[in-house]
Amino acid sequence: MATEGITQLKLKTGSAGVVGLPELLEEAQSRSFSGDDELKDFLLEGIKARNFVSPGSQDEYKEALYREYKKSIGEPLAEESRGALEICILGPGCPRCNALEQATMAALTELNVAADVQHVKNHLEIARYGILGTPGLVVNGKVKSSGKVLSKEQIKAIISEEMQR
């Protein structure tokens, strides 16, 4: 069996790593559904076939999977704010990507800012952002930099600017 990538799924109460999300979203796009509830049920059952989803969190998973589906077909969807910045470091885990992650963490520490920081290493997930070179820095869903390691000061400026919005 081939090693599959794990995709981070943003839930209201945190994040969960799931296997098979890109394939499931592709399959959902090729089908037609009578409504959003049928689509959400399909997505949940597809994820449950390959991942453990506790019974108490199924509604939360449905909403998160639905958001991912809408993003995958290019439909805008109002993101729910969790009260913190969401930062993604895009890259396979090379020294340059790790350096960007460390500089980002240092910038957040100096600014005393809370953030949900993820290092996305899955090449399919990185491709969804449309960057051509890694490392990439994404803040609140917007690509701020790609192909270079930013300094701590540059990252602080980006974070400060984003917090003004």
The tens-digit pLDDT sequence of the chain (165 residues) is: 333 577 878 887 777 888 899 999 999 999 999 999 999 999 999 999 999 999 999 999 999 999 989 888 877 665 554 456 889 999 998 999 999 999 999 999 998 888 888 898 988 888 888 998 999 999 988 999 999 999 999 999 999 998 887
What does the buried/exposed string (b/e) look like for 27-50 if buried means 16 or more CB atoms within 10 Å of the residue's CB? ebeeeeeeeeeebbebbbebbeee
Question: pLDDT digit string (tens) for 118-164?
Answer: 898 988 888 888 998 999 999 988 999 999 999 999 999 999 998 88
Measuring CA to CA, how many Å separate 23 from each of 18, 44, 124, 125, 144?
Answer: 12, 13, 10, 12, 28
Query: Helix or strand or coil: residue 68?
Result: helix
Q: CATH 3.40.30.10 in the chain, residues?
A: 85-164
- Specify the amino acid at residue 71: K
Superfamily for the 85-164 domain: Glutaredoxin (3.40.30.10)
Please give the model's pTM, rounded to 2 decimal places: 0.55
What residues are annotated to the active site? 94, 97
